[in-house]
Amino acid sequence: MNRTRQEKVRLAFMTIAIVGFFVIAVVRLGQFQIVEAATYSGIVERQSSGKIAIPGERGMIFDRHGRLVAKNVCRSSLYAQPETAREKNIAVEYLARLYDLSEKQVTKRFKLKVGKFHWISRHLEDKLADRVAQKAPRGLCLREETRREYPFGKVGKQILGFTNIDNEGLSGFELSFDSLLAGQHGWADIRRDGLRNTFRVREQALVKPVPGQSVVLTIDWHLQEIVEEELELAVQKYNAHSGMAVFLDCRSGDILSMAHCDPGEKNPDRPVKLRAVTDQFEPGSVFKPFTAAALLDAGTIGFDDTVFCENGRWKTGRRILRDDKELGWLTFRQIIELSSNIGLGKCAARLGGPAMMATYRRFGFGEKLGCGLPGETSGHLVPARTWSDYNISALAMGHSVAVSALQMATAMAAVANGGELLRPHLLLGNVEKNGYVNRSARREVIGRAMKESSADSLRAFLRGVVENGTGTPANSEYVAIAGKTGTGQIPNLESGGYYYNRFTASFSGFFPSDAPVIAGIVVLENPHPVTYGGHTSGKAFKAVAERYSISDPDVFSISRHVYTECRQRLDIAVEAPEFVGRDITPALLLAEKKGVKLRCLGSDGLVLWQYPSPDRLVMVDDEMLVVVTPQVIDSLTMIDLKGLSIREASAFLSFAGINYTVEGKGKVVRQSIKPGQSISARSVCRLHCRPARGGRGSSG
């Protein structure tokens, strides 16, 4: 076919244009793919992907017998991060409907800004979280977080303390050991399509979160409950302003219980301190056993020596020292049993103030003991400028000295165990990945406070106090108690001197007296009208000892305390195993070994997905979900969701990238996509739920 010249020119131009277009396209493509590849890859990555923080799970806390006393509960939190002004306006409208507010109120309260992250509400209830998940517009998102919960309520909260909304310790053990309990954040990758819809969140984190260390306390939560109940009862019964108590194992230094009771405390659910550790008081006569220890060690007075107690009134220098009763000639044992100020003062004058001060320091007074809780006080132990007989006598009977309840209990434990001052501690050990408890805290001897022979004699004296002396109200027919009473005047810090009608009543002792195991103290501030320590604090101490001994007759047996000396399995919580990628048969064997149950969503093949995810702590005998698929799969198919909670079902649907709606609450009874059907990211599954039998709703 012959073309005209005009046609040839036109064809040439078309050919040049087409070739030129492709040349330009190839050059431009080369520029994008080779020359400027790094720049444009970064832009694409920023626009289509992102990172989200995965909080590390906070470590759980157990008591010495494996009771779970602090745990984590998973909750959804709502936040806003609108990318455009339109998204922000739509989010404001939605929040106004959700919280029944005006748009002006929403704008003022939440102050949403384009491109800025802002929390809306933390730790939503499951019902509200499900509602938000179904209907929230772009710019509003849910994030899974954990919240700290304490299964025993207020019991032990003064020891445990509490955390803030970000799971950071603010007081108590949670604060002191925050670095141990807190996990490390990880990061996960997210992918978005061209419309900014998030369509993929990697199950495997880019940086795996590191869970915090789970720990075991020395506290016996059963004894802790008893102590708190009896302390509160004593404060009410004896009209005391407040009270505090400490009990510990005198053989190991393990703190078994600590508490205070203050009816005027503003927020007992969020205690900022434990007064048994942070507060100090003037002990009075309950301090006399440590003066007796100094006298016995020095050999200043013999058992058969007698001292004239001046019939209750002794003038020393310009001062007058008094006893409650008109006492005459007494042996040293009787001086302790009847708590004679004059008799002990005369004996102490023979020894001298400096020697007594040295003994008190050996018992740990005037120094922090390092128990592990914040705010611990060192007390107050300052030598007199000149050691007159009156100054020595006042010091001997517990005046001009300040102590904490923890110091008193620890010192009494030294008397009970034969004279060794042990460091009191709160942390028994940590829970290893295999579920065993590794006792990290060992018996630590600070020093020898008194001779063993002297301690033997002093224990007999203190038993006599309860049998024959001022502590007879603390005598029990169920358990042999030994100890010392105290009724000290409260110092007037404003004008000096002492209040004539305000007293600190106390009883410090140990039980059983023949083979001591537990030592402790009960202190009541300003009880009235009965003020004597034996009749108030002594009775509370007796009630604690009796209830604890009767409720658990084996509490003093050697076998019961083997736990404190060896490794013991803690079969309450285990770390969720990694099942993904395993064949279902070995996965079942691994689950059985770990003590958890598997619910298999599928019959045979490899585990594709699991819930909860690996590294999460789960309770023994809890049921874990796994999706099992053939080793060769063309596409993901729907599983049977019936019987699952909303949380469990939504975990799978989120993994599969499926949109879903929920009707009702409780367990899934019907699903719109039948089991076995192929599913894709555009699938929408409607879940119909119904409460479990008996009307119990699901927590999911």
Q: Tell me what percent of the residues of the chain surpass a pLDDT of 70.
A: 85
Residue 85 predicted with pLDDT over 70: yes
Mean pLDDT, residues 565-585 taken together: 66
Confidence of residue 615 (pLDDT cuts 50, 70, 90): low
Of the candidates 310, 312, 303, 395, the residue with the CA atom closest to the CA atom of residue 351: 395
Contact 52, 188 (CB under 8 A): yes
Q: Determine the Cα–Cα distance for residues 188 and 209; give it in Å rounded to an integer.
A: 9
Contact 148, 170 (CB under 8 A): no
Helices (H) and strands (E) in the chain, counts: 20, 30
Confidence of residue 11 (pLDDT cuts 50, 70, 90): confident
Confidence of residue 65 (pLDDT cuts 50, 70, 90): confident
Which has the higher per-residue pLDDT, 111 or 271? 271
Of the candidates 471, 485, 488, 473, the residue with the CA atom closest to the CA atom of residue 526: 488
Mean pLDDT, residues 246-250 taken together: 96
Tokens of 653: 């649907």
User: Please, what is the Cα angle at 651 between 648 and 652, to 5 degrees?
Assistant: 95
- Token pair 């999460």 in the structure block, residue: 616
Of the candidates 331, 264, 269, 336, the residue with the CA atom closest to the CA atom of residue 526: 264
Question: What integer pLDDT is reported at residue 653 of this predicted model?
Answer: 77
Q: Determine the Cα–Cα distance for residues 401 and 367; give it in Å rounded to an integer.
A: 12
Our measurement of the distance from residue 681's CA atom to the centroid of its chain's CA atoms, rounded to an integer in Å, reads 42
pLDDT, tens digit, for every residue of 446-486?
999 999 999 999 999 999 999 999 999 999 988 999 999 99
Q: Determine the Cα–Cα distance for residues 409 and 248; give it in Å rounded to an integer.
A: 7
Confidence of residue 588 (pLDDT cuts 50, 70, 90): confident
- Token pair 């007390």 in the structure block, residue: 379
Mean pLDDT of the chain: 83
Residue 520 pairs with which residues in a beta bridge? 247, 509
Q: Determine the Cα–Cα distance for residues 629 and 603; give it in Å rounded to an integer.
A: 8
Of the candidates 393, 369, 514, the residue with the CA atom closest to the CA atom of residue 445: 369
pLDDT, tens digit, for every residue of 436-451?
777 777 889 999 999 9
Residue 695 predicted with pLDDT over 50: no
Which has the higher per-residue pLDDT, 48 or 71? 71
456: Cα within 13 Å, side-chain hemisphere = 3
Q: Determine the Cα–Cα distance for residues 140 and 144; give it in Å rounded to an integer.
A: 14
Question: What integer pLDDT is reported at residue 561 of this predicted model?
Answer: 38
Residue 697 predicted with pLDDT over 60: no
Q: Determine the Cα–Cα distance for residues 150 and 163; give it in Å rounded to an integer.
A: 11
Contact 628, 599 (CB under 8 A): no
Q: Which of 60-69, 203-212, 643-652 has the lowest mean pLDDT?
A: 203-212
Question: What integer pLDDT is reported at residue 43 of this predicted model?
Answer: 61
Question: What integer pLDDT is reported at residue 482 of this predicted model?
Answer: 96
Q: Determine the Cα–Cα distance for residues 254 and 257; give it in Å rounded to an integer.
A: 9
Contact 171, 162 (CB under 8 A): yes
Tokens of 152: 């025993």
Contact 396, 291 (CB under 8 A): yes
The CA distances from residue 21 to 7, 14, 27, 28, 387, in Å, are 21, 10, 10, 10, 108
pLDDT, tens digit, for every residue of 14-51?
888 888 888 888 877 777 777 777 776 666 555 555 55
Question: What integer pLDDT is reported at residue 566 of this predicted model?
Answer: 40
Q: Determine the Cα–Cα distance for residues 295 and 304; give it in Å rounded to an integer.
A: 14
The total number of residues written for the chain in this structure: 700
Longest CA pairwise span in the chain (Å): 149
Whether a cis peptide bond, with omega within 30° of 0, leads into 577 is no
DSSP symbols for 165-198: TTS-B-SHHHHHTHHHH--B-EEEEEEE-TT--E
Of the candidates 55, 146, 60, the residue with the CA atom closest to the CA atom of residue 431: 60
pLDDT, tens digit, for every residue of 299-316?
998 877 899 999 989 988
Tokens of 435: 């579920």
Question: What integer pLDDT is reported at residue 380 of this predicted model?
Answer: 92
Mean pLDDT, residues 499-508 taken together: 92
Residue 674 predicted with pLDDT over 90: no
Q: How large is the angle between the packed helices 341-351 and 353-362, nearest 10 degrees?
A: 100
Q: Determine the Cα–Cα distance for residues 132 and 251; give it in Å rounded to an integer.
A: 56
Rg from Cα positions in the chain: 36
Those residues whose C-beta lies under 8 Å from the C-beta of residue 358, and which sit 6 or more positions away, are 294
User: Please, what is the Cα angle at 570 between 567 and 571, to 5 degrees?
Assistant: 140
Residue 396 predicted with pLDDT over 90: yes
Residue 196 predicted with pLDDT over 70: no
Question: What integer pLDDT is reported at residue 698 of this predicted model?
Answer: 32
Q: How many CB atoms lie within 10 A of CB 560?
A: 13
Residue 74 pairs with which residues in a beta bridge? 146
600: Cα within 13 Å, side-chain hemisphere = 17
- Token pair 């992918």 in the structure block, residue: 191
